Structure 1
Amino acid sequence: MRGRLGRLLGVRARLRWVHLVLGGALLMPYFLLSQVVVGMVAGGANVLISLPLSLAAYAAALPLAAATAVSPLVRPMSVAAVRAMCGVPGERLAEGPARSWAARGRTAAWWTLHLGVGALVSALSLGVPPMAVVLLAVPFVPALRGTGLGVGWFSTEAEPYIAPLLGAGLLTGLVLCVAGSGALLARLAPVLLGPTAADRLAAAEERAADLAVRNRLARELHDAVGHALSAVTLQANAARRVLDSDPGFVREALTAIEDTARRTVGELDVVLGLLRDGDPARPDAAPAPTLDADLDGLLARTRAAGTPVHADLDPGPTGGWAQLPVIVSREAYRIVQEGLSNALRHGGGPVDVRIAVRTGPGEDPAHGGRGEKERNGPVELEITMTNPPAASEGREPRTTGGRGLRGAAERASLLGGRIEAGPHEDRWRLRAVLPLSAGTR
Structure 2
Amino acid sequence: MTRTKAVAWAGGACYLLMVGLLVGVAPRVPGTVLGVGALLAVSLLVGLVRCMPLPALALALFGSTAVVVGTPSSLHRSLAVSYQGQFLSFLAADLVLGFLVAHCARRVSVVAVSVSFVVQFLVIGLFAQGDSLSVNGLIALLAMVASCIAGLLRRERREHAVALRSQEVAEAVTAERLRIARELHDMVAHSIGIIAIQAGVGSRVIQTQPAEAREALRAIEATSRETLSGLRRTLVSLRQAERDVTAPKQSPLTPAPGLADVERLAAATADAGVRVDVRRTGADRPLPADIDLSAYRIVQEALTNVVRHAGTGRCRVAIDHGDEELFVEVVDEGRGATGHGSAHGFGLIGMRERVALLGGRLSTGPRPEGGYRVAARLPLPAPVVVPVEAR
TM (norm. structure 2) is 0.60
The separation in 1 between residues aligned to 2:110 and 2:97, in whole angstroms, is 16
Secondary structure at the aligned position of 1:356 is classed as strand
The separation in 1 between residues aligned to 2:236 and 2:109, in whole angstroms, is 47
The separation in 1 between residues aligned to 2:357 and 2:348, in whole angstroms, is 14
The answer to whether 1:300 aligns with 2:267 is yes
The separation in 1 between residues aligned to 2:222 and 2:336, in whole angstroms, is 28
Unaligned runs of at least 5 residues, structure 1: 1-23, 46-55, 79-103, 122-187, 360-376
Larger mean CA deviation between 422-431 and 243-252 belongs to 422-431
Render the CA deviation track for 1:338-387: whole Å, top value 9, x for unaligned.
1111122222323412223165xxxxxxxxxxxxxxxxx52432323325
Aligned length: 284
1:155 matched residue in structure 2: none
Displacement after TM superposition at 1:66 (Å): 7.3
2:259 matched residue in structure 1: 291
The answer to whether 1:220 aligns with 2:220 is no
Displacement after TM superposition at 1:401 (Å): 7.6
Letter in 1 for 2:330: T
The separation in 2 between residues aligned to 1:105 and 1:383, in whole angstroms, is 67
The answer to whether 1:239 aligns with 2:194 is no
Asked whether the equivalents of residues 380 and 433 of structure 1 are also in contact (C-alpha less than 8 Å), the reply is yes
The answer to whether 1:352 aligns with 2:315 is yes
Letter in 1 for 2:219: A
Asked whether the equivalents of residues 303 and 330 of structure 2 are also in contact (C-alpha less than 8 Å), the reply is no
Asked whether the equivalents of residues 290 and 332 of structure 1 are also in contact (C-alpha less than 8 Å), the reply is yes
Render the CA deviation track for 1:42-63: whole Å, top value 9, x for unaligned.
2299xxxxxxxxxx9xx98995
The answer to whether 1:109 aligns with 2:91 is no
The separation in 1 between residues aligned to 2:39 and 2:8, in whole angstroms, is 11
Larger mean CA deviation between 331-340 and 377-386 belongs to 377-386
- 1:208 and 1:249, CA in 2 relative to 1: closer, same or farther beyond 3 A? same
After TM superposition, the structure 1 = structure 2 runs for residues 190-205 of structure 1, keeping only pairs within 5 Å, are 192=155, 196-205=159-168
Letter in 2 for 1:431: A
The separation in 2 between residues aligned to 1:105 and 1:277, in whole angstroms, is 44
The separation in 2 between residues aligned to 1:105 and 1:201, in whole angstroms, is 27
The answer to whether 1:253 aligns with 2:221 is no
The separation in 2 between residues aligned to 1:418 and 1:357, in whole angstroms, is 15
1:416 matched residue in structure 2: 359
The separation in 1 between residues aligned to 2:384 and 2:209, in whole angstroms, is 47
- Using the aligned pairs only, state the percent identity: 31
Secondary structure at the aligned position of 2:207 is classed as coil
The answer to whether 1:429 aligns with 2:373 is yes
Partner of residue 350 from structure 2, selected from 407, 410, 415 = 407
After TM superposition, the structure 1 = structure 2 runs for residues 12-411 of structure 1, keeping only pairs within 5 Å, are 28-43=9-24, 63-64=42-43, 67-68=46-47, 108-110=100-102, 192=155, 196-280=159-243, 283-292=251-260, 294-306=261-273, 308-318=274-284, 323-357=286-320, 359=322, 378-389=324-335, 398=341, 402-411=345-354
Asked whether the equivalents of residues 324 and 380 of structure 2 are also in contact (C-alpha less than 8 Å), the reply is yes
The separation in 2 between residues aligned to 1:311 and 1:230, in whole angstroms, is 19
Render the CA deviation track for 1:15-63: whole Å, top value 9, x for unaligned.
xxxxxxxxx9998545422211121122299xxxxxxxxxx9xx98995
Render the CA deviation track for 1:237-292: whole Å, top value 9, x for unaligned.
11111121221211111111110111111110110011114345955211101121
Secondary structure at the aligned position of 2:241 is classed as coil
Higher relative contact order (CA 8 A, sep 6+): 1
The separation in 2 between residues aligned to 1:272 and 1:27, in whole angstroms, is 48
Render the CA deviation track for 1:185-208: whole Å, top value 9, x for unaligned.
xxx99x959952222222212221
The separation in 1 between residues aligned to 2:316 and 2:344, in whole angstroms, is 18
